[in-house]
Amino acid sequence: MDGTMSAKVAVITGAGRGLGRSAALKLAQQGVGIIGTWNSDAAAAEAVAGEIEEFGCKCAMLELDVARSETFGAFADEVCKALEQSFDRTNFDFLVNNAGIGIHAAFADTTPEQFDQLVNIHLKGPFFLTQALLPFLHEEGSIVNVSSGLTRFALPGYAAYAAMKGGVEVLTRYLAKELGPHGITVNAIAPGAIETDFGGGVVRDNQEVNEFVAQNTALGRVGLPDDIGGAIAAMLSDGNRWMTAQRVEVSGGMFI
């Protein structure tokens, strides 16, 4: 732990795996305490908590289904309890809206149920979770919303998913405008294709897909979770306090 952001606390959704796990670990390496969420794998979340504690940071892992906005009030209460019990404070500094799923379906085949699921998780969830947690976000804090490279380039089968992420980017700018008077910065990070279990792990596990992405990326490889976790940590650093309302693509130069 280098301690450059010690005494800070971050709330990260989907911190038990993938990009959320990497962001939590990268921030913990800089001294940031973590309140992470998990939905389906408590054991994985506890393993991440153990890794964070090895860096000398405190960590609390809370269960949350970001598709169920009706639970956000109770979740905010749990965050307050975790802040008091684990960190001896009443507010936190960073919010990373990361949790999500991937649904691959052609536009003509996308069902209302799939569309609604994506809305609830990727757009309604960040909107109302941020609203519920805002009273506990420290003035001059920061929010990072996870978007996608798919808002810039198009690949068949992701129309609904990309539409939600486009909404996240618009929401990011409006939050930056409305929360700016409180000194709160709000930015979006847009990852390219990353080797995670997202979408069934297709980028990670399908060699043909992996090679296709690498061949169409300026840096010649597929992204790794730490490429994004490190970028999120950098966006939340004190040196980025003048950056807000921005979409930062971290794709290694995919499809340029």
- State in Å, rounded, how far the first CA of the chain is from the last one: 36
Token duo for residue 39: 């939905």
Could you give the CA distance from residue 31 to residue 205 in angstroms, rounded to a whole number? 33
Note whether 133 and 76 are within 8 A (CB).
yes
DSSP run (H or E) holding 145: strand 137-146
Q: Where in the sequence numbering do the catalytic residues fall?
A: 161
Q: Edge to edge, what strands does the sheet with 33-38 contain?
A: 59-63, 33-38, 9-12, 92-97, 137-146, 185-191, 247-250
Note whether 52 and 24 are within 8 A (CB).
yes
